[in-house]
Amino acid sequence: MDNMEGLKAKLYQSCMDFIMQRINTAETALEQAQEASNDDTKSSAGDKFETTREMMQQDIGRNKSLLMDAKQNLALLSSLEEAVHSDVVRNGALVYTSNGIFYISISAGQLKVDDQQVFAISAVSPIGQLLVGKKVGESFSFNKNEYTIKKID
């Protein structure tokens, strides 16, 4: 495994750690919200009880949505584990540009691996949409900055 493949493998693992943390956080919050809902007993203040119950249900729904999103990201990330090299930018690509390095995977933000700053972005993010399908030497503009693709791993 050469250095580039090593960097890509480390980025993949960083993204996997990121998404597993999101899943664990969402599962814990969901469990706590469900326990709080189950423990809440009807009080004599009926309106207050109904408002509290509704807020708990909204909290449970929000946590279920976050969990579902995180699991979808996990499935996407898992599909990239065996991504093969391509001459065009696609999911799983490590893209070197004139203004930074991008790992097309999940939206995990800026990651520091082996003293390199890399942005883990989704293919459906605004900059991801501009990158996907491009080849080495092609350029694009994003937020008034010009990017030229130098290398794709």
**What does 49-71 look like in DSSP terms, one character per residue?**
HHHHHHHHHHHHHHHHHHHHHHH
* 70 and 107, same domain (yes or no): no
pLDDT at 111: 96
Q: Compute the average pLDDT of residues 89-111.
A: 96
Residues 122 and 74 in one domain: no
Among 79, 110, 139, where does a domain finish? 79
Domain that holds residue 26: 3-79
Question: Above 80 in pLDDT, residue 113?
Answer: yes
Domain-located, residue 144: yes
Q: Which residues contact 137 (CB under 8 A, 6 or more apart)?
A: 148, 149
Q: Are residues 103 and 67 part of one domain?
A: no
Domain co-membership, 46 together with 101 = no
Residue where a domain terminates, one of 26, 48, 79: 79
**Together in a domain, 65 and 106:** no
Please say if the pLDDT value at position 117 is more than 50: yes
Q: pLDDT for 4-42, tens place per residue?
A: 568 999 999 999 999 999 999 999 998 888 887 776 655
pLDDT-based confidence at residue 1 (cuts at 50, 70, 90) = very low
Summarize the confidence of residues 130-146 as an average pLDDT: 96
| pLDDT tens figures, 44-71 | 455 565 677 778 888 889 989 999 999 9
Q: DSSP secondary structure string, 135-152? A: BTT-EEEETTEEEEEEEE
Instruction: Give the N- to C-terminal CA distance of the chain in Å, as an integer.
Output: 13
Give pLDDT tens digits for 74-98.
999 988 877 677 899 999 999 999 9
pLDDT of residue 56: 81
* pLDDT for the residue 99: 95
How many structural domains are present in the chain?
Answer: 2
Do residue 39 and residue 103 come from a single domain?
A: no
